[in-house]
Structure 1
C-alpha cells in the first residue's frame, strides 16, 4: 500500500507542477483540494467542501484498482471461453490476422471494426458478468407489475441470473458469440445484458475498458497460441462470489514456435 501511495503522490506532485492545459480526473481533484487543517476544523458551522490530500490519493488508488481488476478478470474469462471453444478461437485469430498482417500498426479505427472480437467479448461478459450484481437506490416510490417499491429502497439487480435465464436466452450456458452479431444484436434485451450497468450511473470507463481489452486480445493472439492444459478446469466451477473455485490456468505457446512444428 505504501508503494502505491508513494507512486501516486509523485504523480500528483508532477501534476501540480505542470500547466499544459490538459484536464483529467487527477487534475480535477487537485483543483478541489483543501488543506488537512481546514477539513479537521470543527469550529466552523458549515464544513469546508473539498478533498484532502489523503482522499485524493485514496480515490486515485480506487481508480487504478477498479480498472485493473475488472479488466483482468474479464480478459481471463474471455480467454477461457475461447480456448474451450476452439472454433470460436479460430475465427477470432483469422479476423485478427486478416485485419492486422505482420508489421501492421494497430489503430483505434481498425479495432472498432473488429466485429467478431466485439461479439466474443460481449458473449463472454454475458456468461461471466464483471459485476454479477448491481445495486440502485429507488429515488421515488414506484409500482411495477403490482409490486410497490418504496422510495430509498436499495434494489438488487442479479445480472448473472439474468444472463443465464433460459426465458431470455437460447441455450444460455453455451458460448455463442453470434448472439451479438450486427444482425442479431438488436434482438438482445438491454435489460438482460448490463455488463457495465445502464443509465446515468453506468460505468464511466466502459469505452476505455473495451478498447484496452480489444487491444490486449489482439496483441496476445498475434503472438501466442492459447490452449488448455492439464490444470485447466472444464467445466469451470464458480464459488458463491462468482469467482473460479480453481484458478484459471492456460498454456501460451509462441506462434513462431508453433508454426515451425
Structure 2
C-alpha cells in the first residue's frame, strides 16, 4: 500500500465494512469488521516502530499524526527538536504525519546526504505530489517553481535561470534596490516618525520586499507604499498563510491516492487558488507586452527579462523545425522535453516570477524585521554599524556594489541575523531509493530533516548562541567556523538560487535606513529572548515594533 495514505486506507476499510454489512450476516459483519480494523491498527502501529526496529532513538508517536501533536504543543519544530536532541543526542527518528523522518545535527552525515550522496537525495519534499495531468501542469505555477520541480526538469530550469542571479547581473539592479529603499524611508518618515508611532516591522519590510521585486524583477511599480490596500500585498499574503498551507499539506499526505484520482479524472488541483491565477494574469500581460518587442532585451534591465531571454524566442524557428505540427499555444505552454534543455516553457517562466514574490515577502521581509529589531535592542551594535556606513558612504548620496563590499560589519550583522533567525527553521531531503547510510536503513520516500535553527543555536558551534554578536562573522572568527554550521541558504546543489539577490536587498536597505534613522524599542516591543513559532516558517509570536528617530 505504498501509494496509499492513512486516509486512503481508512476510506477503503469503510468501503469493505459497508460491503460486509450488505452481504454478510450480522455476527459475521461484526467479526470481519473488528478483524479488519485490528489489522489496520496493527499496520499503523508497525509503521510507527520503523526507527525503533533499527535502534534509532525515537519518542512514542501518535498512530495517526506521528509527532505532529507534540510539535504543535511546542509551537513548532525548534522547541521539539531541542527536547529531542537533549534526550537522544545528534540523531533521532520522528514521524511527520505519515512519513518517516531522520533528524540529524551530525555535520558529517549532513555533508554526505546533501553533497556526496546527492544522487540519492536530489530533491526536497514539497508537499506537492507529481501529476501527469497536462491541464494542471499547464496552469500550475506552484508546481513549476524551481524549489518544487525534480529530476531533469529541475536541472534544466535551474541551469536556465542561474545566469539571471549572478553577481555581475545583480550588481546592475543595486540602484533599483536603493530606489525602493528610499521609498521605504519616505514611508517610515511620513507615517511613523512624524507621528511618533511604533513601526510594524514585518508589514513595512513586506511592502519593501514587494516594491523591490516589482521594480527590479518586473520594471513595475506595485504601489505597495502609495496604496495601503495594495492588491499585490493581499494576494501575496495568501501564500503566507501557515494554517491553510498545513491543511492542504495534511490532505495530500493522508489522501495521496484520492488526490491523484481527483487530479487524473477531474483535473482538480487543491493548490489552484485565485491568488495563483491573479499573478499568472500579471505575468502573462508582461510577457505579451514584451515578446513582440524587438528592443525588449535592451529596454528592460530586470530579472523577468533575463528569464524571458532564457525562453530563447530568437531560436524559435530552430525549435519549430523539430516540433512540426504543434500549435503556438502548445509550444509556449507544454513542458519541453529534455532534448530541448536550453528552453523554458512559459508556465515555468511565470513560476520563477512567482517564487520571487513569495520568497521576497516571506523570507527577505522576515529577516529584515529581525535585523532591525535586534539593532534596536542592541544600540551599541547599531551605533557601530552606523559608524561604518557613514565612513564608507561619506557625503555620497548613491550606494554602489563597491560600497557594499567595504561594509564588513554590515555583512556580519546580516549573517548574525540569519544565524539567529533563519527564515526556514529546518530543511529536508527526500530519499529516492533504498539505501543504508551510516548503518541506518532508509527507504524510498523517507525524509532526512536538517535542523537549521538547532545547528545555528548549538553552543558547540556558537558560544552564547542567544546573544546577538555580529563579530562572529568578522575575519578570524569567521574563518574558524565550519561552513556546515551556517545553513540559512541551504547546502549543496539545492541551495537557495536567489541568495545573492536577497543579500543585496538586505545590505542596501539596512545601510540606507540605519544611516537615516536611529531605531529604539517602543512601549509594545517584546523583550528578548523572543518567543518564536516555527510550524513552517520562523515567526515571532508577538508583533515586532520599534520607534525611529530621524537623524537628518
**TM-score interval, smaller chain:** 0.7 to 0.9
Q: How big is each residue's C-alpha offset from its partner over 1:74-106, in whole Å with a ceiling of 9 and x where there is no partner?
A: 111111111111111110010001111233421
Determine helix, strand or coil for the equivalent of 1:170: coil
Determine helix, strand or coil for the equivalent of 2:532: coil
Aligned match of 1:105 in 391, 398, 413? 398
Q: Could you tell me which runs of 5 or more consecutive residues in structure 1 were left unpaired when the two chains were aligned.
A: 42-46, 257-261
Aligned match of 2:449 in 153, 156, 161? 156
Q: Is the Cα–Cα contact under 8 Å of residues 332 and 346 in structure 2 kept in the other structure?
A: no
Q: 1:3 to 1:101 in 2, by over 3 A?
A: farther
Aligned match of 1:246 in 542, 547, 551? 542
Q: 2:396 matched to 1:121?
A: no
Q: 2:471 matched to 1:178?
A: yes
Q: 1:177 to 1:105 in 2, by over 3 A?
A: same
Aligned match of 2:509 in 206, 216, 229? 216
Alignment-derived partner of residue 193 in structure 1: 486
Alignment-derived partner of residue 11 in structure 1: 286
Q: CA deviation at 1:200?
A: 1.2
Greater Cα shift, 192-201 or 235-244:
235-244
Q: 2:450 matched to 1:143?
A: no
Q: CA deviation at 1:135?
A: 1.2
Q: Is the Cα–Cα contact under 8 Å of residues 35 and 52 in structure 1 kept in the other structure?
A: no
Distance in 2 (CA, whole Å) between partners of 1:26 and 1:131 is: 29
Q: 1:206 to 1:232 in 2, by over 3 A?
A: same
Q: 2:371 matched to 1:78?
A: yes
Could you say which structure has the larger radius of gyration? 2
Paired residues in the alignment total: 250
Query: Structure 1 or 2: larger helix share?
Result: 2
Q: Is the Cα–Cα contact under 8 Å of residues 423 and 488 in structure 2 kept in the other structure?
A: yes
Q: Is the Cα–Cα contact under 8 Å of residues 137 and 155 in structure 1 kept in the other structure?
A: yes
Q: Is the Cα–Cα contact under 8 Å of residues 39 and 48 in structure 1 kept in the other structure?
A: no
Let me know the Cα RMSD of the aligned residues. Answer: 2.8
Distance in 1 (CA, whole Å) between partners of 2:345 and 2:388 is: 49
Q: Could you tell me which runs of 5 or more consecutive residues in structure 2 were left unpaired when the two chains were aligned.
A: 1-274, 299-304, 320-326, 338-342
Q: 2:414 matched to 1:90?
A: no
Determine helix, strand or coil for the equivalent of 1:184: helix
Q: CA deviation at 1:72?
A: 0.9
TM-score, length of structure 1 as denominator length: 0.84
Greater Cα shift, 26-35 or 148-157:
26-35
Aligned match of 2:551 in 249, 252, 255? 255
Q: 1:185 to 1:151 in 2, by over 3 A?
A: farther
Distance in 2 (CA, whole Å) between partners of 1:192 and 1:174 is: 17
Distance in 1 (CA, whole Å) between partners of 2:487 and 2:465 is: 15
Distance in 2 (CA, whole Å) between partners of 1:38 and 1:112 is: 43
Distance in 1 (CA, whole Å) between partners of 2:357 and 2:310 is: 16
Alignment-derived partner of residue 237 in structure 1: 531
Distance in 2 (CA, whole Å) between partners of 1:112 and 1:142 is: 44
Q: CA deviation at 1:209?
A: 1.1
Q: Is the Cα–Cα contact under 8 Å of residues 425 and 534 in structure 2 kept in the other structure?
A: no
